[in-house]
Amino acid sequence: MTTTTPVLNPRVIALAHYAARALLENVLARHGATFQQSVTLRLAALAEGPVGRDRIVEDLVGALKIDATEAHSVVDELISAGLLAPHEPSQVRITDTGRALFETTSAETAPLTARVYAGIPAEDLVVAGRVLSLITERADEELAALNT
């Protein structure tokens, strides 16, 4: 039986996304964290210092396509859990506990990701990255048009 390589389409993208996300969520669940919390911690960890709460919320809304109320709720959850801390006047910072969780889950997912991407030629990854970035840009434009 001969199988053909599928053409990139919404279903192929969704299957890849959900397969990869399931790997991450499996790791996160062992640490009592959610996908949204992980994305938020990453934003705070990469900020290299206090970051505006509104900036984090804006980035979450843009990346996860959630509303601002839900994004604020995720930030509040992380503050309540001691993973983020308020920083004056309207900023948050990642705590040592939050950074440890971020680093632990990143370290645990790294070998999984490496195995998933193993053997894929660098040129293919560049093309895939370019195409997926273009699709994201266009879908964001369409979503913005729908919401106006």
Per-residue exposure over 39-62, b if at least 16 CB sit within 10 Å of its own CB, e if not: bbbbbbbebeebbebeebbebbbe
Q: How confident is the model at residue 147 (pLDDT cuts 50, 70, 90)?
A: confident
With CA atoms as reference, report the closest residue to 38 among 2, 77, 5: 77
Phi and psi torsions of 61, nearest 5°: -60, -45
Give yes or no for residue 145 having a pLDDT over 80.
yes
DSSP state of 83: S
In tens, the pLDDT along 103-136 reads 999 999 999 999 999 999 999 999 999 999 999 9
Q: How confident is the model at residue 2 (pLDDT cuts 50, 70, 90)?
A: low
Assessment of whether the complete model's pTM goes beyond 0.85: yes
What is the percent of the chain where pLDDT is above 70?
Answer: 99
Provide mean pLDDT across the span 21-46.
Answer: 97
- Is the Cβ–Cβ distance between 44 and 94 less than 8 Å? yes
Q: How confident is the model at residue 48 (pLDDT cuts 50, 70, 90)?
A: confident
Residue 116: which residues within 8 A CB-CB, separation 6 or more?
A: 20, 23
Question: What pLDDT was estimated at residue 148?
Answer: 83
Q: How confident is the model at residue 81 (pLDDT cuts 50, 70, 90)?
A: very high
3-state helix, strand and coil shares in percent for the chain, rounded to the nearest 5: 70, 5, 20
With CA atoms as reference, report the closest residue to 39 among 24, 29, 54: 24
DSSP state of 5: P
> CA 107: distance to chain centroid?
15
Instruction: With H, G, I as helix, E, B as strand and everything else as coil, classify residue 22.
Output: helix
Give yes or no for residue 21 having a pLDDT over 80.
yes
Question: What pLDDT was estimated at residue 3?
Answer: 72
Rounded to an integer, what distance in angstroms lies between the CA atom of residue 5 and that of residue 64?
Answer: 29
